[in-house]
Structure 1
Amino acid sequence: MTSTLITDIGELTTNVERGADRFGTLTDAAVLVQDGRIAWVGPAAEAQGIAENRSGVRESARRTESQTPDQFSSDAGAIEVIDADHRAMIPGFVDSHTHLVFGGDRADEFEARMTGTPYAAGGIRRTVAATRAASDDELSARLTGFVAELHAQGTTTFEIKTGYGLTVHDESRLARLAAEVTPEVTFLGAHVVPAEYSDRRDAYVELVIGEMLDAVAPHARWVDVFCERGAFTPAESERILAAGTARGLLPRVHGNQLGPGEGVRIAVAAGAASVDHCTYLDDADVAALAGSDTVATLLPGVEFSTRQPYPDARRLLDAGVTLAIASDCNPGSSFTSSMPLMIALAVREMGMTPAEAVWAATAGGARALRREDVGVIAPGARADLVLLDAPTRVHLAYRPGVPLIGEVFKDGVRLR
């Protein structure tokens, strides 16, 4: 058994409600990790002596957290003790929306947008061409680099979408490569209609729900569709989600990004885990989300990069909608993997408090992926932890652009 005690944590965000505090904030705290899972959480004063007397700690932990004895090993073993030096700790970020397997670059589009050219979904086809031309080794090497980038910025759980192949062969290989680095793989053959099908969109939809879905489903957990003008119609979106669900994939939706539309309605009706973007919502959309289990995933990096209006997170929160924030890391509309930046933008531009933004980037992302083992610091959860080089979580928004990610643990293993 491997055990690690992280003690002298100045501010611990557990995301486990404690009375009126939905963020489960503890001060002067400690966390015990055993075999990749959280074993105990409590006051640092009650954790003193763990390394010297494991059995005494087991009794203290049971008194503090009401845990049963079998949640702690009787084998004392060696315990690594880490002094957090009164820094803040949060759960590892859960980035529930990325597009990390692709070829090419679209910096010129970004530059053009900064001088007034509007964003349009059609630019995706440029990345499709570059991705098709890239080898598996090239795509894998780039993906490995992105994963290291995520880890360095505190992201320990992440989703990856296909959608830059748009042939049976290419969508299948993108899903296979993504599955090598995450279990959260999303089939997004319905990203745009590729150029070769521009006059035969019905045939492309049939390909997506037939041969392409058959090839990708073994590598994926989710099915997604870009329900938007310039992409897929509401009727096409419903067909694609239904086909994916019939193959055992769970639904999620890109919706209401470029203007008002039916993305939210379709997502809620399909029981989707998440509808992502949510830039343009009417009162009926907000009410539908508030009355459902569908998470509204906001992607502030997109608005930063495209100069579209930011979603009104405050309106959604006040209505009782569950929110996540994610990076939407992709080469066209949000080429950043920084969840700390997403937090800063959510606070500055979308009306969220720092605590709400951190919750949305951790527990909210976990809900958008229907995961209960990440996004929280509680006994039984995965030991995915981030020690900040800061005294509080507020500093993630207060000091934007500053590298505040100190130490990162994934399943109890230190990544940096």
Structure 2
Amino acid sequence: MSELITDIGELTTQCGDRQRLHDAALVIDGSRVAWIGSAADAPAADIRTSVAGRAVLPGWVDSHSHLVFAGSRDAEFDARMAGRRYEAGGIATTVTATRGASEAMLLETATALRREAELQGTTFLETKTGYGLDVESECRSARVAASVADTVSFLGAHVVPAGIDRRDYLDLVTGPMLTAVVPYVQWIDAFCEVGAFDVEESREVLLAGLVAGLGLRLHGNQLGFSGGVELAVELGCASVDHCNHLSANDIDSLASSSTVATLLPACDLSTRQPLAPARLLLDAGAEIALASNCNPGSSYTTSVPFCIAVAVLQMGLTIDEAVWAATRGGARALGRDTGSDAVGSLRVGGRADLQVLDAPSVVHLAYRPGVPLTAAVWRGGIRTPPIVSGF
């Protein structure tokens, strides 16, 4: 069945020259976009939906999240806001709660967060394991993640859990744990940071994942100059995420590579880290993505629009650059920017993942920060229930 979405006040396709189109329309046929053009030239379709001058754009591609967990770290957040420094070790609190939760409980939480993200325009989402940190719990987390997310990363190398020798744990991550999760995941990740894993340990983990047929991504340079960016570029990682502390050489390396710098501004605010140098990265020619980093300890939000608003208001991006980073940039960070299964853009023959804003322009995403603007979402051509009354 085909659907004509017409009377679009502003259409952002993220194709070609990135310009916003006006008085536009598009046709969805099944799960694909079948036609894009002027509303005056729109063909007939089985269903006609007028968006009455609202803005239409691709759904968000959230390329970094941690949705599979149990428990809360609100007390830790409260203490941090009172002046305690953020450190990676707080992850242990979530590990204890996650190991003690049933698979049904983990699935319920992750499903609710996925739905929450979709209501804010997210149509494609990556999530990670990393709060189990033993073979059984990581495998269970991977199964849950695979059932709620579009693509999954194995993050056994999050921190070394209490009660196990560091070398023994690395052998576990690169051996039995990796073998157990491989059926459910597409990527391997590591937290290359002080308090987590150093460069050589992270290299060992990523190379083991590569041998197992997984794509590579990396947490790097969040809390300091960890060497994660250099390692990510060296190994050809699809993305290196956080990137708060970058040297001039780091920026130049990213600009001359295919590795996407995924920036996580909600996390930066929550941990009171310096905001990642988004403007410097773009001006140097690097590709960036914006993502939520939804997790219970350092960024408990599923709101990509919030991240866009911060990027525009505080990180020096234009609205078009920020929207690009949260759509096409996220797709590139996940290796889903080209081909028949590409996401993050609207093109004829491409997936019909799109959203309607209850606003005339994407400018309102930063102009009206914190206001819920998503009016409707289509994911694979299927519309979610109406979000804005009367639409």
Q: Say yes or no: TM over 0.5.
A: yes
18, 24, 31: which one aligns with 2:26: 31
Task: Answer yes or no: is the 8 Å Cα contact 1:183–1:221 preserved in 2.
Answer: no
Task: Give 1:50's match in structure 2, choosing from 44, 47, 61.
Answer: 44
Task: Find the residue that maps to 2:163 and give its secondary structure.
Answer: helix
Q: Is the 8 A contact 1:11 1:89 kept in 2?
A: yes
Q: Given residue 38 of structure 2, which amino acid in structure 1 is its aligned partner?
A: P
Task: Spell out, residue by residue over 1:22-76, the C-alpha distance to the aligned partner (whole angstroms, 9 max, x if none).
Answer: x2321110011111101111111111x514xxxxxxxxxxxxxxxxxxxxxxxxx
Match for residue 360 of structure 1 among 319, 325, 343: 325
Aligned to 2:35: 40
1:100 aligns with 2:67: yes
1:111-130 mapped onto 2 (5 Å cutoff): 111-130=78-97
SS in 2 for 1:180: helix
What is the aligned partner in structure 1 of residue 379 from structure 2? 410
What is the total number of aligned residue pairs between the two structures? Answer: 381
Q: Secondary structure at the match of 2:7?
A: strand
Please name the residue that 1:324 is paired with: 289
1:292-303 matches, cutoff 5 A? 292-303=257-268
Partners of 2:279 and 2:296 in 1: CA distance:
28
Shift of 1:308: 1.2
The residue number in structure 2 matching 1:384 is 353
SS of structure 2 residue aligned to 1:186: strand
TM-score by length of 2: 0.96
Looking at structure 2, the residues matched to 97 and 229 of structure 1 have their Cα atoms a distance apart, in angstroms, of 20
Distance 1:29 1:183 in 2: 29
Runs of 4+ in 1 over 3 A off after TM superposition: none
Alignment of structure 1 residues 180-195 onto 2, 5 Å: 180-195=147-162
Question: Does structure 1 conserve the Cα–Cα contact (< 8 Å) formed by 2:198 and 2:226?
Answer: no
1:183: Cα distance to partner? 3.5
SS in 2 for 1:380: coil
Q: Confirm or deny: 8 A CA contact 1:6 1:30 kept in the other structure.
A: yes
- Aligned partners of 2:54 and 2:140: how far apart in 1? 42
Matching residue of 1:308: 273
Q: Residue in 1 aligned with 2:54?
A: 87
Provide the secondary structure at the position in 1 that maps to 2:361: coil
Deviation at 1:312, TM superposition (A): 1.3
- Spell out the pairing of 1:10-409 with structure 2 (5 A cutoff): 10-18=9-17, 23-47=18-42, 50-51=44-45, 79-197=46-164, 200-372=165-337, 373-409=342-378
Q: Secondary structure at the match of 2:359?
A: coil
The offset of 1:400, in angstroms, is 0.8
Name the SS for the 2:246 alignment partner: coil
Q: Distance in 1 between matches of 2:331 and 2:234?
A: 21
Whole-Å separation in 2 of the counterparts to 1:235 and 1:143: 32
- 1:4 is matched with 3
Note the C-alpha offset of 1:306: 1.0
CA distance in 2, matches of 1:272, 1:222: 10
TM-score by length of 1: 0.91
Summarize deviations over 1:64-93 as a string: whole Å, max 9, x none.
xxxxxxxxxxxxxxx111101010011000
In the aligned structure 2, how far is the partner of 1:144 from the partner of 1:317? Answer: 34
Give 5+ residue unaligned stretches, structure 2.
386-391
What letter corresponds to residue 218 of structure 2 in structure 1?
Answer: V
Q: Residues of 1 paired with 2:53 and 2:335: CA distance? A: 32
Q: State the alpha-carbon separation in 2 of the partners of residues 207 and 272 from structure 1.
A: 22
- The answer for the alignment partner of 1:66 in structure 2 is none
Query: Aligned-pair distance for 1:210?
Result: 0.4
Separation in 2 of the partners of 1:122 and 1:371? 33
Distance across 1 between alignment mates of 2:122 and 2:362: 15
How much does 1:182 deviate?
A: 2.4
Shift of residue 101 of structure 1?
A: 0.4
Contact preservation (8 Å) 1:258, 1:280:
yes
The residue identity in structure 2 corresponding to 1:268 is V
% identity of equivalent residues: 56
State the shift of 1:381 in Å. Answer: 1.2
Deviation (angstroms), 1:261: 1.9
Q: Which has the larger radius of gyration?
A: 1
Give the drift of 1:124: 0.2
Structure 1 alignment gaps of length 5 or more: 52-78
